[in-house]
């Protein structure tokens, strides 16, 4: 057997990239989440050819100082946590310090960033190696452009679905992030065509109208509830406004879009017997929880989280949804012309 040796940083980055960056939509998700963590109020995502040719994400956040660029693109380097205590008290969307290193390892990546909107920095990376860094004019904030994703990992490229499917996945993740952040103006353009633009005025109903249509938004009911551990706010469709799969249910935990079967089931339980068989509501549910109750460190993509008090939260959700529907019934019968 060959001798054991340590892998180069470049190679380990490529291996790690396999976990975090599965497809163009993962790049979009990571870059937009970074923009949100950087306190951006405006984020613009542009993709060419479903993100395979190019993805760029521009924000008006805090920017990155010139001497921090290398660290930003280094694996396991982050500004978001410092110690073990922080790991169990995550208030940001990122914390693993993996995304930029992973993205740069499997693409040609360029960054243009400025912390003050005066002088900025431009730098380029290819296959994880830095090509250049120079001073450059830039508005305050950060723009990251990713070209030729997976150019050096042909197996990963082959595993991708059709361009149409990959674009749908990008649209899906941007939609969900927008629903979780009505206070941020998010734009998504594909091959020059604007697919989504949210105003960023904090009005969730308006975002729902932008994404699912005005008619749907008008028929949604407000869900609001809290207990000592959780605060809920959201919109759910009336029982006769349904879809044939659960993809129209978005659950956001502390601003993070998560996949959680239990919580989605709790939401549907709130409808009791009012949902027809194999019918699913349209719903957006934003949950605020003490970060101490949430373990995000479960999976590299952070879509799955472990929750303390999940049963209590489920009960709260079911109760809040059934309350919203009941309120509607009462309002309905009161104003009935009969
Ligand atoms: P993480 O988000 O887990 O910290 P990333 O690799 O995504 O790891 O980013 C590394 C670091 O680069 C971040 O911790 C942050 O300090 C900085 N950074 C990344 N994107 C941005 C951005 N859009 N604006 C400002 N800083 C950023
Ligand atoms: Mg990140």
The DSSP annotation for 253-289 comes to: ETTEEE--HHHHHHHHHTTTT-SPTT-EE-EEEEEEE
How confident is the model at residue 333, as a pLDDT?
A: 52
Tens of pLDDT along the chain (338 residues) come to 789 999 988 888 888 877 889 999 999 999 999 999 999 999 999 999 999 999 999 999 999 999 999 999 999 999 999 998 888 888 899 988 999 999 999 999 999 999 999 999 999 999 999 999 999 999 999 999 999 999 999 988 999 999 999 999 999 999 999 999 999 999 999 999 999 999 999 999 999 999 999 999 999 999 999 999 999 999 999 999 999 999 999 999 999 999 999 999 999 999 999 998 899 999 999 999 999 999 888 888 888 889 999 999 999 999 999 999 998 877 765 444 44
pTM summary value: 0.94
Question: Is the torsion defined by CA of 239, 240, 245, 249 positive or negative?
Answer: negative
Report which bound ligand comes closest to the CA of 100.
1
ipTM exceeds 0.95: yes
Structural fold of domain 219-332:
Ribosomal Protein S5; domain 2 (3.30.230)
301 close to 20: Cβ distance less than 8 angstroms:
yes
What single string gives the DSSP state of each residue in 109-175?
EEEEEESSSSEEEEEEEETTEEEEEEEEE--SEEEEEEESTTTT-HHHHHH---HHHHHHHHHHHHH
Closest C-alpha to 109, from 66, 157, 144:
144
Instruction: List, by residue range, all CATH 3.30.230.10 domains of the chain.
Output: 219-332
Question: Tokens standing for 320?
Answer: 């809040």
Instruction: List, by residue range, all CATH 3.30.565.10 domains of the chain.
Output: 9-197
> Exposed (0-12), middle (13-18) or buried (19+): which is 65, by Cβ within 10 Å?
middle
Pocket-forming residues, ligand 1, beta carbon under 6 Å = 30, 34-35, 38, 59, 61-64, 72, 78-80, 94-101, 142
For residue 235, how far is its CA from the centre of ligand 2 (angstroms)?
28
Q: Please name the residue whose Cα sits nearest to atom 1 of ligand 1.
A: 97
- C-alpha angle 94-267-298 in degrees, rounded to nearest 5: 30
Query: For residues 90-128, b (16+ Cβ closer than 10 Å) or e, as one string?
Result: bebbbbbbbbbbbbbbbbbbbbbbbbeeeebbbbbbbbb
Instruction: Tell me how long the chain is.
Output: 338
Structural fold of domain 9-197:
Heat Shock Protein 90 (3.30.565)
What are the phi and psi torsion angles at 86 (to 5°)? Answer: -60, -35
Which atom, in ligand 1's list, is nearest to the CA of 98? 6
């Amino acid at each position: 057997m060959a001798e054991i040796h340590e892998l180069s940083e470049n190679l380990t980055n490529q291996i790690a990239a396999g976990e975090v960056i599965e497809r163009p939509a993962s790049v979009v998700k990571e870059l937009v989440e970074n923009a949100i963590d950087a306190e951006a109020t405006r984020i613009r995502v542009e993709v060419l050819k479903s993100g395979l040719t190019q993805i760029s994400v521009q924000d008006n956040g805090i920017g990155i100082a010139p001497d921090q660029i290398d660290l930003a693109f280094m694996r396991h380097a982050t500004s978001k946590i410092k110690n073990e205590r922080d790991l169990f008290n995550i208030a940001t969307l990122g914390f693993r310090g993996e995304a930029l290193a992973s993205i740069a390892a499997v693409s040609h990546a360029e960054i243009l960033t400025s912390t003050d909107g005066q002088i900025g920095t431009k730098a380029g990376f290819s296959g994880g190696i830095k090509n250049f860094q120079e001073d450059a004019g830039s508005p305050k904030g950060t723009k990251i452009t990713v070209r030729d994703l997976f150019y050096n990992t042909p197996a990963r490229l082959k595993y991708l679905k059709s361009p149409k499917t990959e674009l749908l996945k990008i649209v899906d993740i941007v939609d969900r992030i927008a629903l979780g952040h009505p206070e941020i103006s998010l734009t998504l353009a594909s091959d020059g065509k604007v697919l989504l633009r949210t105003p960023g005025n904090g009005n969730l109903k308006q975002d729902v109208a932008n994404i699912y249509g005005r008619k749907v938004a008008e028929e949604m009911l407000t869900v609001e509830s809290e207990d000592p551990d959780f605060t809920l706010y959201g919109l759910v469709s009336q029982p006769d406004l349904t879809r044939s799969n659960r993809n129209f249910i978005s659950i956001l935990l502390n601003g993070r879009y998560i996949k959680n079967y239990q919580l989605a089931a709790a939401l549907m339980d709130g409808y009791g017997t009012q949902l027809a068989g194999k019918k699913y509501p349209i719903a957006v549910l934003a949950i605020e929880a003490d970060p101490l109750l949430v373990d995000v460190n479960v999976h590299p993509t952070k879509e799955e989280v472990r929750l303390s008090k999940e049963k209590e939260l489920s009960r709260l959700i079911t109760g809040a949804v059934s309350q919203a529907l009941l309120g509607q019934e009462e309002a309905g019968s009161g104003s009935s012309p009969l």
